[in-house]
Chains A and B, each alone.
Chain A
């Protein structure tokens, strides 16, 4: 009971706050249209329509991702605000609080890197779900073709237009940082590539259209347009009396288009989830590492792990072997200085070989600093035997 009331109050709060009101209205509309359209698709018995209407479900996932990324933004902002407050408090009564700060809080946060990665997972989940849905529709349409049932064409146009409208509204009116980033950053789908290729040749003849057509078109909108065209031609051909084959064919085509659109995005987000170095960062990282390896005292780098935490955040850890007589803190500071601009969350592990012999080493240091003596192997004698 309490749960439901809290849900109600939160919904009430969401509706009251002006910035999210449009999102809520869109969500509810999408939900309603989704139910309507799926009922219609079930009535119409047409797999092509069902394939097209699965865009509605994707819209729901899209809105979910949008809400999640908004929540993460809010979270980060409040965190920063809290931090500011804490630091202000510290400035005010630093003496009183200083002791408490020395003992860190005894809780390990469950998500030590914060919640930024939720976005990536949300994008991956929604793209993957629509890929799997397309796959399922592929199988279903083959089964339907074997079953050979009649298709009612009267629902096709209405429900496809409904889907089209809601999809366009969701794509263009719901602000979704995560998907915007993925659409911009992932490689273009085959649909996009072909369409841009075609438009390029169109713009060859009519240059004025290049502003409208030439940059990459939003793949989701493209999917919607192509799907609408397919459903229309499908209904036209069905009315002409061409039979089930058309319906199966167009649903297969729809499934392949969905597949092609979603796969690049799923690959992009999946690669982030697999802790990989993003390809555009490799060059920059290599340059920084090269510079850092030339620093005084640095012998080599080992276990370089650089991976993307979320969209645009790089995490890295690195083992640095340094010379035995080098100052660790200085090496650490220099390497840090080189890498910190590229890698946002960085851990550098500085280590030396045979650090246990440090005492002997420091004992022998005045001797080794003498160039004449250092050439003499006899001074090293004991040392060599020990190692």
Chain B
């Protein structure tokens, strides 16, 4: 879509001294263009946008018709004309947007925002969206350029407080822009930005639109036959396009003259277009500047740029052009504002200006610097084209793979991943709960935005934040089913343990921050508005209860033989506290919650009993699911706390109850997460599982001809798999394969699936001595033989 050929054309660059005159010419023309823009801005203060554009394009097309004679050798066919007309309409709209943006933002900001070459914008998009196509070395500078660009736009948008503009009561200060402006102000007031900011948005839209149009029209240019001819034809067509529009504008201005001032201005404009010759004033005030604009903006700029592109190259042309315009406009605006302040009446019109000028601010200065950097970084060509080196062909020429990996369409990826998610119960459960949670969050956010309630909005963000834990869990559940690879030789089963651990850490962080906030509030309890809080927290509680029930089902099942004491819910302290807490404060709510925790204890009790029966049950305890469950549990605790504290505040007015509640909750979350964290950490640290009995090793020792064992390592890979490796020393006349098989059966009985057994005899050490191999790690097993 975005052609990268632009960058590859830069291979031949001439030395600067050869093309110095062209560079100077380019710079002068760009200076004139900047000047022309400033004139246009002043002109636009008293005349309508469409009118100015119409006159300018009219003069341009007259000039171009004489210079270029485009229709002399033009063979039109229907399709071509159709395309040309489409292009022209787009071009006209873009130009109108641009000029309208100019009236809103002033010339300096317009130049800063609009006068970027297509290369810069395309490079921006490339860096943002197609990261794989460019090598990593060029990518960093590109990304930096994009960040600078965005910062600059942001600086103009947000940090450039044009205070003088904002204190106009009636925003439609430009009386003659009635029709357009009215719609536009309606729009901007709907979004809620100042009109200067609206202008920024308009200019950006125009810029992107222009880039898209230019890259779209590349083929059209070739079909028509050359850039110059194309430009001439489209300008003529655009003039024709603008004729009806400008007539409509004139009509409107004649029909609805609101105030005296507008009558006056329309009077002027009407006269200026219809009977120009009768008033000499208007010739000097309108025609001369428009001729200047035509020359500077539309003719000279175009021709010199074309020349520079041929003589220099695109990149250098655009770099010098853009940089010149940015800095010159900066300087000119500095002078311009001052001169206007001094004279305080306009040069061309001789009447007082009511509109305040756009002044310089820190944001603009920052934006100028940032734009300069961004242009420099984005326009510089990437040094190396990425191409994967494959090897050499038969003649010894290196081969590169330039084709990129074919990216799948987003829809296909979504479809396949959705199928994967729904394939298994764990991920399906997380997914459904995630959907419910997200739905609730969005309803909350929308409602909050609608009623303008901060509490709801921040609670919605909090919910969104919690959803990330679910997303982590979901991704881990998906990942754990991937096939083993070269690097992940044991498969991805461990991802679940790690994600459980991360979720645990997440809860620790949450608990810490809640604790910190609560301590802060304990000393100065804030006033809390509770009327909508109760409803929201009850709704959140209900959603979380769904989660708890769906996950606790899995949880209770999963807990078959996982070592009873390690379960967070069976830990006595948190449940008890929960219970006490509920009973002492509030009855109706604690009842529901208390019963739920009772349920849990019951299920755990029974499970513990069953786990005492036989340790031979498979370990199906899933750390990932438990992490998610704990997270949901913590959320539920949070909403219970909110319910209790809001009730207390509502009926008793105890504002202090809020921090106390959050203190309790944070401690409870912390206490409940600790055992879980400890367990998953132990799995990650390759702790020997507790259900491996010593008697296994005894049985191995009692086997025929086995003398000793060493280096015994047993560890849980994930919740369902145990890996073991062991070295066994046997007598010299023993049969290795028989011993291996026997040991294997013993280990299989002990639920160790992935076994590696190294059977060693005295001969092995003799061989190793012969091979001069290092015996460092075998010291313990060798001892068996050396001290016989």
Residues A270 and B498 in contact in the complex (CB < 8 Å), given A135-B468, A193-B140, A333-B773: yes
The winner among B490, B685, B701, B759 for most chain A CB atoms within 10 A is: B685
**Any A CB within 8 A of the CB of B265:** no
Residues of chain A contacted by B740 (CB below 8 angstroms): 349-351
Known contacts A111-B685, A245-B158, A328-B759; is-contact A197 B461 (Cβ 8 Å): no
Say which residue of B159, B462, B684, B741 sits within 8 Å of A355 (CB atoms).
B741
Q: Give the chain A neighbours of B158 by CB distance below 8 A.
A: 245
Is B353's beta carbon under 8 Å from chain A? Answer: no
A351 touches B513 (CB 8 A): no
B490 touches A275 (CB 8 A): yes
Interface residues of A in 5-19 (CB under 8 A from B): none
> From residue B480, how far is it (CB to closest CB) to chain A in Å?
11
**Contact flags A316-333 to B (C-beta < 8 A → 1, else 0):** 011100000001111011
* Residue in contact with A337 in the complex, picked from B490, B687, B701, B771, CB distance below 8 Å: B771
Q: Is the CB of A121 within 8 A of B726?
A: no
Beyond A102-B707, A112-B714, A330-B767, is A355–B685 a contact (Cβ under 8 Å)?
no
Q: Given A111-B685, A136-B513, A197-B141, A332 and B760 touching (CB < 8 A)?
A: yes
Max chain B C-beta neighbours (<10 A), residue from A117, A245, A273: A273
B746 within 8 A of A: no
B458 adjacent to A112 (CB under 8 Å): no
B777/A282 in contact, CB under 8 A:
no
In the assembled complex, which residues on chain A have CB atoms less than 8 Å from the CB atom of B458?
Answer: 143, 146-147
Q: How far, in angstroms, from A146 to B459 measured CA to CA in the complex?
A: 11
What's the least CB distance linking B25 to chain A, in Å?
Answer: 29
Q: Does B763 contact A (CB under 8 A)?
A: yes
Q: Which residues of A sit under 8 angstroms from B726, Cβ to Cβ?
A: 347
- CB–CB B708/A104 < 8 A: yes
Interface size class of B (residues with CB under 8 A): 35 or more
- Would you call A168 an interface residue if the criterion is a C-beta within 8 Å of the partner chain's C-beta atoms? no
Q: Residue B378 at the A interface, CB < 8 A?
A: no
Within 8 A of B (CB), among A302-346: 303-307, 309, 317-319, 327-330, 332-334, 336-337, 340-341, 344-346
Residue from B712, B758, B760 with most neighbouring chain A CB atoms (10 Å): B758
Contact partners of B754 in chain A: CB under 8 A: 303
B757 CB contacts on chain A under 8 angstroms: 347, 349
Look across to chain B and name the residue whose beta carbon is closest to the beta carbon of A129.
B505
How far is B517's CA from A51's CA once the two chains are assembled, in angstroms? 14
B686 at the binding interface (Cβ < 8 Å): yes
Produce 1/0 per residue, B669-710, CB < 8 A to A: 000000000000100111110001010010001000001111
23 residue pairs from A and B, CB less than 8 Å apart: A90-B783, A104-B697, A104-B709, A108-B697, A108-B714, A112-B714, A113-B686, A121-B681, A125-B505, A129-B509, A143-B462, A146-B461, A190-B143, A274-B488, A317-B756, A330-B767, A332-B760, A333-B771, A345-B777, A347-B713, A349-B758, A352-B737, A355-B741
**A-side binding surface: helix, strand, loop or mixed?**
helix
Whole-angstrom CA separation of A117 from B707 in the bound complex: 31
> B310 at the A/B interface (Cβ < 8 Å)?
no
Please give the distance in Å from A273's CB to the nearest CB on chain B.
Answer: 5
Name B756's contact: one of A274, A334, A347 (CB within 8 Å).
Answer: A347
Is A121 a contact partner of B685 (Cβ separation < 8 A)? yes
Q: Does A70 contact B (CB under 8 A)?
A: no
The smallest beta-carbon distance between B149 and chain A, in angstroms, is 15
Q: Of all chain B residues, which has the CB nearest A330?
A: B767
Which residues of B are in contact with A by a Cβ distance under 8 Å? 140-141, 143-144, 158-159, 161, 362, 454, 457-458, 461-462, 464-465, 468, 486-490, 492, 494-495, 498, 502, 505-506, 508-510, 513, 516, 520, 681, 684-688, 692, 694, 697, 701, 707-715, 717, 725-727, 735-738, 740-741, 754-761, 763-764, 767-768, 770-771, 773-774, 777, 779, 783-784, 787-788
Bound: A349/B461 CA distance, A = 54
Interface centre among A38, A97, A305, A336 (most CB of B within 10 A): A336
Contact across chains for A303 and B505 when beta carbons are under 8 A apart = no
Q: With A and B bound together, what is the CA distance between A112 and B498 in angstroms? A: 20
Distance, CA A84 to CA B788, complexed state (A): 20
Interface membership of chain A positions 111-135, coded 1 if the CB is closer than 8 angstroms to chain B and 0 otherwise: 1110001100100010011001101
**Chain B residues in 8 Å Cβ range of A282:** 486-487
Instruction: Give Cα distance in the complex from A98 to B506, angstroms.
Output: 52
Contact of B454 among A101, A140, A146, A333 (CB under 8 A): A146
In the bound complex, CA of A193 to CA of B773 (Å): 43
| A239-259, CB < 8 A from B | 240, 242, 245-246
List, in ascending order, chain B residues with CB within 8 A of A340's CB. Answer: 773-774, 777
- Indicate if the CB atoms of A274 and B710 lie closer than 8 Å: no
Contact with B along A219-263 (1 / 0, CB 8 A): 000000000000000000100101001100000000000000000
Asked if residues B711 and A275 are in contact (CB atoms below 8 Å), the reply is no
Known: A275-B717, A329-B761, A346-B777. A101 touches B685 (CB 8 A): no
* A276: interface (CB < 8 Å): yes
Question: In whole angstroms, what is the CA distance A337 to B686 when docked?
Answer: 27
Let me know if A336 and B159 touch, CB within 8 A: no
- For A42, the closest partner residue in chain B by CB is B520
> Is the pair A143, B738 in contact by a Cβ cutoff of 8 Å?
no
Which of B465, B688, B738 is within 8 Å of A109, CB to CB?
B688
* A142 contacts chain B at the CB level, 8 A cutoff: yes
The distance in angstroms between the C-alpha atoms of A112 and B737, with both chains bound, is 26
Tell me how far the C-beta of B138 lies from the nearest C-beta in chain A, rounded to whole angstroms.
10
Beyond A112-B712, A347-B726: 10 further Cβ-contacts under 8 Å? A101-B783, A103-B708, A112-B688, A135-B465, A139-B462, A146-B454, A306-B489, A334-B771, A336-B768, A347-B756
Find out whether the CB atom of A132 lies under 8 angstroms from the CB atom of B509: yes
Identify the closest chain B residue to A275 (Cβ). B490
A333 touches which one: B717, B767, B774 (CB < 8 A)?
A: B767
CB distance from A108 to the nearest CB of B (A): 5
Cβ-defined contact, B684 with A121, below 8 A: yes
- CB-CB under 8 A for A337 and B768, given A109-B688, A197-B141, A328-B759: yes
Q: In the complex, A122→B697 CA distance in Å?
A: 32
> A128-B505, A197-B144, A347-B725 in contact; A303/B487 too (CB < 8 A)?
no
For A275, the chain B residues whose CB sits under 8 A away are: 488-490, 494, 717
Residue among B143, B509, B763 making CB contact with A133, cutoff 8 Å: B509
Taking a contact as CB atoms under 8 Å apart, the answer to whether A329 and B763 are in contact is yes
A197 touches B488 (CB 8 A): no
Closest 4 CB pairs of A and B: A333-B767, A355-B737, A317-B756, A347-B725
Assembly CA distance A303 to B756 (angstroms): 9
Q: Whole-angstrom distance between the alpha carbons of A76 and B397 in the complex?
A: 53
Residues of A within 8 A of B141 (CB): 197
Chain A residues within 8 Å of B755, by CB:
349
Q: Which residues of B contact A348 (CB under 8 A)?
A: 756, 758
